[in-house]
Amino acid sequence: MSNPYSAFCDDFYVNLRLGSQLALPHQRDTLLTFFERIQKSFPAMRRFRKTEAGEFNLEEPKSSNSYRWVSVEAKRLVAGHVNPESVEEALKLHTLALELAPYQLGISPIELEYIEVLFGFDLTFTGNHDEIIADSLLTESPLTCLTEEPYARPVDVQPTVTVSLSEDCRLQARIDVVTRTNSYQVRTGEYSEDVISVYLMVRRFWGDRPKETLEAVFAQLAEKAQELTERYILQRVLRPISSAIASRS
């Protein structure tokens, strides 16, 4: 199964993040009722586990190229769909989780801090990730001036940009570029196959208590994220990175 942006990345995923100012319930009956309701709609989500951090997860098998997961953390409800056929397909799990949250988990709009959609793009590369990002995204930037020094090699180039999309700054978008090479690998030239990740996050802070339902607000955020992806991220972020990777293959 191929993801809708397979021409630009190896893996694509859509995540939901719902942040609360209060601790989410972790009682046995409450959690099992919530996860059982999720599993009823997505029967392949069979693996239930508690992590060392005290989070509770329900997942589909990760052996498949495409899989879903949902997690109840201390103060967050988080869900994801890796390599969905479409953005619309990914939103089915997130919409259900948000519909259930007020009733099954007792989450009230009063306690909410934010709701966020994350579009993630992973590009596999065996080599210096930071050099790839410096060459593909920051070639003309004054910030790369230190690379002009003798023997200089990039070891930590992970640009982050956050902007407000509304006058009250409650709607924000952020791009994170995450690399996974380290100084030891750069020094020895022994690189492992790993991914460069590009994250686009669109977050709505809940301070003004919007009257729409959680799922309606999330749908608006996802629509905005998809618009930003197709207007900017694909051609101006992902394509240069993938081209730089191809030139070194």
DSSP string covering 119-163, please?
Answer: EEEEEEESS-HHHHHHHHH-TT-GGGGGGGSTT---S----EEEE
112-125 and 47-50 strand pairing: unpaired
Name the DSSP letter for residue 238: I
Mean pLDDT confidence for 186-214: 92
Query: What pTM value is reported for the model?
Result: 0.96
Contact between 217 and 210 (Cβ < 8 Å) = yes
169 SS3 class? coil
What is residue 94's predicted lDDT score, i.e. its pLDDT?
Answer: 98
Tokens, residue 25: 């319930």
pLDDT in tens, 70-88: 999 999 999 999 999 999 9
**Distance between CA atoms of residues 176 and 179, nearest Å:** 10
* Residue type at 206 in one-letter notation: W
What is residue 1's predicted lDDT score, i.e. its pLDDT?
Answer: 56
List the Cα angle 68/70/75 in 5-degree steps. Answer: 155
What is residue 209's predicted lDDT score, i.e. its pLDDT?
Answer: 75
195 SS3 class? strand
What is residue 208's predicted lDDT score, i.e. its pLDDT?
Answer: 77
* Residue type at 164 in one-letter notation: S
58 exposed, middle or buried (CB, 10 Å; 0-12, 13-18, 19+)? buried
pLDDT in tens, 84-135: 999 999 999 999 999 999 999 999 989 999 999 999 999 999 999 999 999 9
Question: 1-7: long-range contacts (C-beta < 8 A, 24 or more apart)?
Answer: 1/65, 1/66, 1/83, 1/85, 2/83, 3/66, 3/83, 3/84, 3/85, 4/84, 4/85, 4/86, 4/87, 5/121, 5/229, 5/234, 5/238
With bands split at pLDDT 50, 70 and 90, how would you rate the model's confidence at 211?
confident
Contact between 83 and 12 (Cβ < 8 Å) = yes
pLDDT in tens, 168-184: 999 999 999 999 999 99
